[in-house]
Copies of this chain bind each other. A is one copy, B any other.
Amino acid sequence: MEEIEVHELKKVELNKPVMIEGLPGVGNVGKLVAEHMIQELNAEKIVEIYSRHFPPQVLVNGDGTVRLCKIVIYAWKSKELDLLIINGDQQSVTNEGHYLISERLLDFAQQHDVSRIYTLGGYGIGQLVEKQTVLGSVNEAGLVDEMKGYGVEFRDDEPGGSIVGASGLLLGLGKMRGIPAVCLLGLTSGYLVDPKSAQAVLKILCRALNLEIDMQDLKDRAEEMEKVIERLKEMEQAQVPRRREEELGYIR
């Protein structure tokens, strides 16, 4: 296996597709959105990417088989819009790998003449979110107004903040190649997998892509999480602070 190995499973012809990145991260918000889109759109798996920069382990599937950590790219075509959706098990665990893998994804974007990239993620605020909000960042100043039109918030009291991993680097490195890119971060507690935040991000994204996607599955998952959160709140009021800490661990 090479340092980064790209397995092209199927050749597809796409028309200036939009690339959407939803790799694991805070609240798994980006990954939830990407997975939901792949499922609802029935997108087709076209590329697998393996790398020594992923953790040195295999993941065990429900049927007892295992798989190497990988990033997967799916394609979806329609009359008005073509998509490349990036999903995966892991991000790089090395500093260098983050840069190298993002560059490889951009190579692929350029091969397919990608017209724009959306990177998706969560923005942890350390407490339960009262009002669902999606924060935006862009790699071309001209994109700010368009994004505001879709309901994305831009907060200028947060300069100095940073976006870590592929969601950030695809914007930064993409700019060098002249590919317009937007990062959408759903506010989230940072403690729990957050399908509600994923819904908020997906709504904005659908508006931006002029696309309709059924959200029932994300709603169901959000309701399940609501129940978990209710139980946590009850436990808090019942003054069982120690158990609460355990329960608040990162739940998939």
- Name A residues whose Cβ lies closer than 8 Å to a Cβ of B: 1, 52-53, 55-68, 92-96, 98-100, 103, 136-141, 144, 154, 156, 158-165, 168-169, 171-173, 175-176, 183, 252
Asked if residues A164 and B56 are in contact (CB atoms below 8 Å), the reply is: yes
User: Helix, strand, loop or mixed for chain A's interface?
Assistant: mixed
Q: Which residue of B lies closest to A3 (CB)?
A: B96
Asked if residues B139 and A57 are in contact (CB atoms below 8 Å), the reply is: no
Q: Which residue of B lies closest to A67 (CB)?
A: B172
Assuming the contacts A64-B144, A95-B94, A137-B64, asked whether A58 and B162 have C-beta atoms less than 8 A apart, the reply is: yes
Which residues in B have their C-beta under 8 angstroms from that of A175? 66, 68
Assuming the contacts A1-B176, A58-B172, A60-B163, asked whether A95 and B53 have C-beta atoms less than 8 A apart, the reply is: yes
Asked if residues A168 and B57 are in contact (CB atoms below 8 Å), the reply is: yes
Which residues in B have their C-beta under 8 angstroms from that of A59? 160-162
Asked if residues B60 and A137 are in contact (CB atoms below 8 Å), the reply is: yes
Asked if residues A173 and B68 are in contact (CB atoms below 8 Å), the reply is: yes
Q: Measured between C-beta atoms, what is the minimum distance from A140 to chain B in Å?
A: 7
Asked if residues A66 and B99 are in contact (CB atoms below 8 Å), the reply is: no
A-B contact pairs, 27 of them (CB 8 A): A1-B99, A1-B176, A52-B99, A55-B164, A56-B92, A56-B165, A56-B169, A58-B162, A58-B171, A58-B172, A60-B161, A60-B163, A62-B156, A62-B159, A63-B141, A64-B156, A65-B139, A65-B140, A65-B141, A66-B139, A66-B168, A66-B172, A66-B175, A67-B172, A68-B173, A94-B95, A160-B252
Which residues in B have their C-beta under 8 angstroms from that of A67? 172
Give which listed residue, B57, B139, B161, B171, contacts A163 with CB less than 8 A: B57
Give which listed residue, B56, B60, B173, contacts A99 with CB less than 8 A: B56
Which residues in B have their C-beta under 8 angstroms from that of A52? 95-96, 99-100
Which residues in B have their C-beta under 8 angstroms from that of A139? 65-66
Asked if residues A172 and B68 are in contact (CB atoms below 8 Å), the reply is: yes
Q: Measured between C-beta atoms, what is the minimum distance from A28 to chain B in Å?
A: 12
